Amino acid sequence: DVQMTQSPSTLTASVGDRVTITCRASQSIGSWLAWYQQKPGRAPKLLISKPSSLETGVPSRFSGSGSGTEFTLTISSLQPDDFATYYCQQYNDYPYTFGQGTKLEIK
Amino acid sequence: QVQLQGSGPGLVKPSETLSLTCIVSGDSISTYYWSWIRQPPGKGLEWIGNIYYSGYTNYNPSVKSRVTISVDTSKNQFSLKLNSVTAADTAVYYCARDRGPGSGYFDLWGRGTLVTVS
């Protein structure tokens, strides 16, 4: 299985900050990576795939980049609605696997 | 508007079989792959497996010996059966639309069904 490792596990930031979450794969997954946002009690929401294609309706302050084994999700200016947990997911190979999550907290 | 509605018992006894169904509304189930994903309380996400309308399946090796995913195209729904459950199978179970090979991300999710094994 491809292991996905996110860092940091917890990130404390303020409204207006620029933040970056990193996702590393245990082997090359090409560009086959997606990012999700999950709020408590809710299903995850797809933000980005492929890994820089923004899903329709997702604010442009979200962006994704990377290829091979290292990927990043950047939020250019945090808004109150962005405080949530973020997951990366690889779909280069079965079984699909997720990172352990990054919890974004308000400072 | 496409929606996924998962349903099934919220409580299952140890060693018994967990059974969930997901009804797809607003789109034909014959268009995409369909996945089951679970999340233990307070933990991360685990992909269980997926199915195409033809019945072709892929399973996570972590549960492959215990899981069956099936599809009923006449009812536009797909189902999950997980047998010999233990407390470790307690989780919120999500059904999701899977874009399929080469695009295996999940762009539509059901609300999730909490299944407790006890």
Kindly report, residue by residue over A51-105, the tens digit of the pLDDT. Answer: 899 999 999 999 999 999 999 999 999 999 999 999 999 999 999 999 999 999 9
The CB density around residue A57, as the number of other CB atoms within 10 Å, is 7
User: Does the CB of A81 have a partner CB in chain B at under 8 Å?
Assistant: no
Rounded Cα distance, A52 and A29, in Å: 14
**Distance between CA atoms of A73 and A54, rounded to whole angstroms?**
11
Tell me the average pLDDT of chain B.
96
Give burial (CB, 10 Å; 0-12/13-18/19+) of A36.
Answer: buried
pLDDT at B102: 73
Q: What is the mean pLDDT of chain A?
A: 97
CA-closest candidate to residue A98, choices B94, B12, B86: B94
Residues of B in Cβ contact (< 8 Å) with A55? 107
Minimum-distance CB partner of B104 among A1, A55, A91: A91
In this predicted model, what pLDDT tens digit does every residue of A31-66 receive, in sequence order? 999 999 999 999 999 999 988 999 999 999 999 999
Beta bridge partners of A102: A86
